[in-house]
Chains A and B, each alone.
Chain A
Amino acid sequence: MTESREQRASQIPRDAANWATQTDAVRLSAVPTGARNLNVEGKQAVGPLQGFGPMWQKTYRVRLQGSDATPKDVIAAWKENFPKFWPPGNTFYAPLTGIAPGEAALINSSLPGGMPLSTGVMVLYADDESFTLMTTQGHPFSGWVTFSATVESEGGMTCTVAQAQVLMRANDPLYAVGMRFGGHKQEDRIWEWTLASVAKHFGVEAQVDTNCQCVDRRPQWRRAGNIWYNAGIRSGMYVMTTPVRFVARPFSRPRTGA
């Protein structure tokens, strides 16, 4: 028998602990040693609806044929080794408390052309068989990346399939141009590498299947102002002004506690 809406509302939803709680701004619980902490603290987490460019849904999948890993095994290993599965040149500083709802992580990377990029993500959702990262304002894209694992059958054989699905819009007009000229390819490389690394972790050498679909071609012009938060521009300015900060350091007043 179906429960009434009132009955359902009175129960604690079984996924309540899996979601981040509502917050106005992203907060880092700690900054890992060596991480460049820019463009994350105090910024909002943004989804595919808040971006500027066309909306894309990109799905990357790898079949773990021959491995007896369950979806729970895959997600547990993925959460634990997330930074290790990333391609060289991109550093993901996982939250010290692990990938858990509401936690934020720093990303130090570079844009096509070599411009440094400091940005981050917030863990929107996490359970035993999936987790979702939500980007912060200023990230090249505004969106979610959901990592999941399921058991699938093909030709009478079952195997676990690991998947990363990105639902995104380029965050601002500059990034939208960048996505056309190398940004999408760079992003595909990151997730294809990641999926191949997950497969290797379970002893499987397999081809990653990539499927990209444009869900909405029209840009959201009212979001053009997102460029104010562009983490590429801000990170570049930060790097360029490093000598000035170095010279000024002896003259700056020491920070006092609140």
Chain B
Amino acid sequence: MANEPLEVTVRRLPALTVLDLEGEINGLAESRLNHAYADAEGAGPRTVLLNFSGVDYINSTGIALIVSLLGRARASGRELRACGLSEHYVEIFNITRLADFMSVFPNEEAAVSEAALGAG
């Protein structure tokens, strides 16, 4: 099956910075994901939101990439959140216990309004 390389777009909102992810998160996504996260960190947001609504495949290497982002976020005192995960990947976040460390929202609106409340 053809791989769909990951595309990442960084959007800055008042309450947080969003990384829109599109494609597959696997070992090949490492460089793009890390660069995009470094770009997102540039503006010094308190919260970074990973928007998975365009992601249709994550393997275990991809989950490890997300965990290392969590480690980086923790090291710099930032909060990492997730939204737009399919039901299957919500379950994977539970199995890998990522969900214990990362708030998971059904969509971007819910994550943004939560962040706005927190900032207010």
Contact = CB atoms under 8 A, between A and B. Distances in A.
B95 interface: yes
A14 B58 CA distance: 10
A148 B60 CA distance: 10
Contacts of B60: 19, 124-125, 130-132, 144, 146
Contacts, number: 92
A21 B67 contact: no
B97 A50 contact: yes
Interface stretch (A26-34, A78-86, A110-118, A215-223): A215-223
Nearest to A125: B60
A9 B87 contact: yes
Interface residues of A, number: 38
A130 B61 contact: yes
B56 interface: yes
B71 A216 contact: yes
B92 interface: yes
A49 B100 contact: yes
Interface residues of B, number: 34
B44 interface: no
A224 B23 CA distance: 38
Nearest to A49: B101
Nearest to B64: A167
B103 interface: no
Nearest to A50: B97
The 9 closest A-B pairs by CB, nearest first: A215-B71, A125-B60, A132-B60, A216-B71, A13-B88, A55-B71, A216-B75, A22-B95, A49-B101
Interface of B: 1, 22, 27, 53-54, 56-61, 63-64, 67-68, 70-72, 74-75, 84, 86-89, 91-92, 94-98, 100-101
Given A48-B67, A50-B97, A148-B61, 20 more contacts: A2-B22, A2-B54, A3-B56, A5-B86, A8-B86, A9-B88, A13-B56, A13-B86, A14-B1, A14-B57, A19-B92, A20-B95, A22-B91, A47-B96, A49-B97, A125-B59, A125-B60, A125-B63, A130-B61, A218-B74
17 contacts: A14-B1, A16-B88, A22-B95, A47-B67, A47-B96, A49-B67, A49-B70, A55-B71, A57-B71, A124-B60, A131-B60, A146-B61, A167-B64, A167-B67, A216-B71, A216-B72, A218-B75
